[in-house]
Amino acid sequence: MGLLGAAVQAYVAVDFQSWFVQLTPSRAIARRFFAAAGSAGRHYRLTGIPMGFTWAPVVAHAVTTWLGRRVVARATAAGLSIRTSAAYIDNLIFAVADPAHAPPLVALIRRVAAEVGAVIKPSSVEVGATVEWRGLSLSAISHTAWLKPAFVGKVDGAIAALCARRGTAPLLELVAAASCLLYASYVRAWPFARLHTTLDWLSRVTSGLSTDSAPTASTPAVPTVDWQRVQTLPRVLLAEWSHVWAALQTAFAPGLSPVRPPGAPRAIGVSDAALAPGRRTTRAWAFHSPVEMRLEVRLAESAVIAVEELHAMADGLRCLNATRPAGATWWTTWRGDNMCALQATLRSWSPHPELNPLVDSIWSGQQPASLALAYQTTRSIIMDAYTRDDAVHLLPGGRPFTRCGPPCAQHPGTYCPEFVAWLTSLAPSTDFSGRVGAPRVTYLLRRRRDTRAFFAHQPAAAMSAANAQATPSSPVPSLGLSSGAPVRRTAPA
């Protein structure tokens, strides 16, 4: 994360006052941007963006981003040492290498804001080595980040009180505590799968929510939730809250750089699974790391293809992590061709409870941002040859088929021709026709929420599935995907 870089020595953070209201629609938009009120059918043109308007955060974030870039351009021309900057809806933050440049930067921000008529909240201007940003307390001294101390204190007290009362409290208090844990997991970049019991409980609780609108013949009344009703949490749920909250309070750096440093060790993994009614099929995974090449094939056991795909990925990554030296970071790309499994892993949880333990096991032991998930077309993924009917003969008596070999001396940890040749040589009687050749990576998903990378020849089906399941954030206009950074077009690693 650039805000925690070693060269950063101070921060400047600002917040715009009532930002939605400040954003005045143009005349062309204002003619069609109105609200109806009362039974008389009167219409009122809006002079600002109202809270609750779906596109309000998007518009606000776009304008804030534009202002931030304008400040950076002027500051760079003035010789101020801005290392990086970031925008989020109505907030701006700048990281500088010289603390002496912070005061003139504040003056420059005020001038740029005044030029366009933007009003900065006076009490929001923060300058120093420690500032608050998006629920975090950033430190330019230790180059780490924590959850805000005030937030930690409140949640810590709430969890302790719930444990003392053995999980008994009004429903409103329980939902608030669960929401705080989810928020903390989000900013901590932790897998939501570790709170899968909480998510399941919240889904049951909120299924009874109703709107404030009066019931009609077509929309009958829905029973409202009694928020003051006292409930007792299941013991397993209270234990999950206590365990997750204790781990969330540690200091952390929220993600490494999504760009692999030159010369950093790599690892490549690939997995696949198949299901066919009435026939035996397999799941398989293989990886090439700086330590070894390894392949394993097992009989498929589940009736759900996404479960089999996640099992193959989780088993392969678990073995990869077990062979990684302590403290080492391998920049790992794992390839598969099941978008449901890849998207569940990217979002770090699944609405299907049986998948969450697998998703959690995939991310456990992974260095932040050192794992990327890659979608491949079925014809280009070599593991297809190990997950069809003709691969069952590799498993006499149902026993797993496992093979190991030394890493490629010239291309350790890469999807090199030597790795492909090694995989094809392990099962000479298996039909690899049409499955061997240069792999074509078509869609790369990174664990970091603010990074997307795309490759040429993306299949329309993969794009549609990804767009439908992308986590909301700031939009990428031409692609409809969420991203906090511009889309990068690059060649496959």
- Contact at 8 Å (CB) between 326 and 291? no
Q: Is pLDDT of 229 > 50? A: yes
Lookup: tokens for 33: 């941007």
Give CA–CA dist 460/81, Å, rounded.
43
Q: Does the pLDDT of residue 476 top 60, yes or no?
A: no
Distance CA 16, CA 288 (A): 50
What is the average pLDDT across 223-236? Answer: 82
Q: Which tokens go with 346? A: 């990217």
DSSP conformation letters of 241-261? HHHHHHHHTS-B-----SSPP
Q: What is the pLDDT of residue 120?
A: 92
- Residue-wise pLDDT for 355-414, tens only, equals 888 888 888 767 655 788 888 776 677 888 788 766 777 777 778 888 999 999 999 999
Tell me what pLDDT residue 111 has: 93
- The rounded distance, in Å, linking the Cα atoms of 155 and 146 is 14
pLDDT of res. 170: 92
Report the pLDDT value the prediction gives residue 469, as an integer from 0 to 100.
Answer: 41
Burial of 466 (0-12, 13-18, 19+ CB in 10 A): buried
Share of the chain above pLDDT 70, in %: 77
Specify the pLDDT at position 355. 82
Give the pLDDT confidence score for residue 282 in this predicted structure. 86
Q: What is the DSSP string of 169-186?
A: EEHHHHHHHHHHHHHHHH
173 versus 47: which is more confidently predicted?
173
Judge whether residue 143 has pLDDT over 70: yes
Which pairing describes strands 331-336 and 266-273: parallel, antiparallel, or unpaired?
Answer: parallel
For the four alpha carbons of 407, 412, 417 and 423, in that order, the dihedral sign comes to: positive
CB atoms under 10 Å from CB of 385, counted, come to 21
3-class SS string, 207-241 = CCCCCCCCCCCCCCCCCCCCCCCEEECCHHHHHHH
Assign 39 a pLDDT band (cuts: 50, 70, 90): low
The answer, yes or no, to whether residue 317 has pLDDT greater than 80, is yes
CB 192 within 8 A of CB 202: no
How confident is residue 43, by pLDDT bands cut at 50, 70 and 90?
A: confident
Mean pLDDT is lowest, of 146-160, 235-249, 256-270, 335-349, for 256-270
- Report yes or no: 83 and 8 within 8 Å, Cβ to Cβ: yes
CA–CA dist 253, 340 (Å, integer): 29
Burial 426-452, CB ≥16 within 10 A → b, else e = bbeebebeebeeebebbbbbbbbbebb
pLDDT recorded at residue 251: 57
pLDDT classification of 436: cutoffs 50, 70, 90? very low
Greatest mean pLDDT among 38-52, 210-224, 230-244 lies in: 230-244
Q: Is the pLDDT of residue 274 over 60?
A: yes
Tokens of 195: 């709170």
Residue 46: the pLDDT is 78
Kindly report the pTM of this predicted structure.
Answer: 0.60
